[in-house]
Structure formats: C-alpha cells, structure tokens
C-alpha cells in the first residue's frame, strides 16, 4: 500500500455514536486482518501472488477530526478556499460544482475554515458537487479486498453514507458513498429538468391562435 502526503494528523475523537461503535470494534478488526492501521509514508509488505485486479485509490481526508476516504475515480480536483472563492458553487472551466454541506449531513463539527482546508470537486455520472474538508492527508492505493465491511452495529441510515472502512494511521477511515454525497445535487437537477419539461408550452408569435 502506498500513501503520499505530509500534513499533520489531527487527534482522534469519537464524535458520535457511529464513530464510537467503530472504535470499539477497531481492535477486533485489526486482529482479524492481521495488520496495523497504515500511516503516512508506510508501505505494507505483500505476500503471495500479486492480484490481477487493479488496485483501488482513495483520497484520505479529515472532517470533524474523523478520517474519511473518497474514491479517487470520482474526484475532479482540489481547490484551496482562496481558489474556490466565496461562492456557493465553485466553477472550473465553466463547470459548476454545487456545494454539499457534508459536515452537516454527517452531524460533524464545522471546522473547514483553517489554512489546510480544501474544497474537493466530485462527479459521478451526470451529478457534480463540491465538499469542504479540514485537511487532505494523501492518496492511498490498496486492493479492494482490503476495504473492510461495516460492522453489524451500522444498521441505520449510515449504511447508505459509507461503503466500508480502511485501516489507516492506527485508526480507520470510513469510505464515503459518492452517490449518497451527490444525491441532493442529482435530485435538484431532476426536479429542474422536470420543471422545464412540464412548463407552459410556448406558442410561436405567428401562430393563428394569437
């Protein structure tokens, strides 16, 4: 596994019930998988024949003192707050990425105003959006088999929020579901398209009914 980056790690903090449940199970998960959480600049030795499956790549970020992982395939760019500007929807090359309040949706502290804060641009199919994160830790490459399933304590809506978890920095990073992140943007776009389709028909100026 490889990880690039060099920002300082935030302290661990159990910020809500789901986080507490995950931390409770962390020792069990590490034991069952026979590995330590990965840290910055750590490369884990691999044993056996190499897998023919291409490795997955995740961008590790922090939000509300929690490690989160984003599928690198859905990332379209990283901006500083200055580059993003004081706008609701940052635009790059004329393409707008509507802001998603991820901290609010996950009930995490809103701490994305520091010097290391970044705006992550995301897209999936026809949906686009942007999220603010506290820090960007780096890029992690690993086999899909190393993405661990959520523990059984996750029985509520959080099963839609996360796709699994990754051992990272003697802790865990929860893998975010990009589809869930962007579902508000997708719903808004569908509503707009429906409104246009159901609007009053326009009658040409030269129509005999005028």
pTM over cut 0.85: no
- pLDDT score of 88: 81
For residue 110, being part of any structural domain is answered with: yes
For residue 209, being part of any structural domain is answered with: no
d(CA 68, CA 125): 22
- pLDDT score of 114: 87
Range of the domain at 27: 2-45+53-192
Nearest to 22 by CA among 137, 157, 164, 142: 164
For residue 7, being part of any structural domain is answered with: yes
For residue 150, being part of any structural domain is answered with: yes
Torsion of CA 175, 8, 64, 16, to 10 degrees: 70
For residue 204, being part of any structural domain is answered with: no
- pLDDT score of 137: 96
d(CA 85, CA 100): 15
d(CA 10, CA 161): 22
* 140 in Cβ contact with 166 (< 8 Å): yes
Count of structural domains, the chain: 1
For residue 172, being part of any structural domain is answered with: yes
Largest CA-CA distance found in the chain, in angstroms, rounded: 80
- Regions of the chain where pLDDT drops below 70: 1-52, 186-210
For residue 173, being part of any structural domain is answered with: yes
For residue 201, being part of any structural domain is answered with: no
- pLDDT score of 197: 52
- pLDDT score of 207: 56
Beta strands 171-176 and 66-71 are parallel
- pLDDT score of 44: 35
């Amino acid at each position: 596994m490889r990880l690039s980056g060099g920002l300082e790690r935030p302290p661990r903090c159990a910020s809500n019930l789901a986080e507490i449940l995950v931390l409770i199970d962390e020792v069990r998960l590490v034991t069952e998988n026979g590995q330590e959480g990965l840290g910055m600049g750590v490369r884990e030795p691999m044993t056996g024949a190499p897998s023919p499956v291409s490795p997955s790549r995740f961008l590790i970020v922090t939000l509300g003192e929690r490690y989160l992982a984003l599928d690198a395939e859905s990332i379209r760019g990283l901006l500083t707050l200055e580059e993003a500007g004081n706008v609701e929807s940052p635009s790059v090359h004329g393409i707008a990425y509507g802001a998603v309040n991820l901290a609010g949706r996950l009930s995490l502290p809103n701490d994305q105003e520091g010097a290391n804060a970044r705006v992550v641009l995301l897209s999936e199919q026809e949906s686009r959006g942007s999220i603010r994160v506290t820090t960007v830790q780096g890029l992690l490459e690993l086999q899909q088999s190393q993405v661990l399933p959520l523990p059984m304590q996750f029985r509520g809506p959080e099963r839609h929020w996360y796709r699994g978890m990754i051992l990272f920095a003697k802790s865990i990073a929860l893998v975010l579901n990009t589809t869930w992140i962007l579902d508000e943007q997708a719903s808004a776009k569908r509503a707009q398209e429906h409104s246009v389709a159901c609007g009053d028909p326009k009658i040409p100026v030269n129509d005999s009914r005028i």
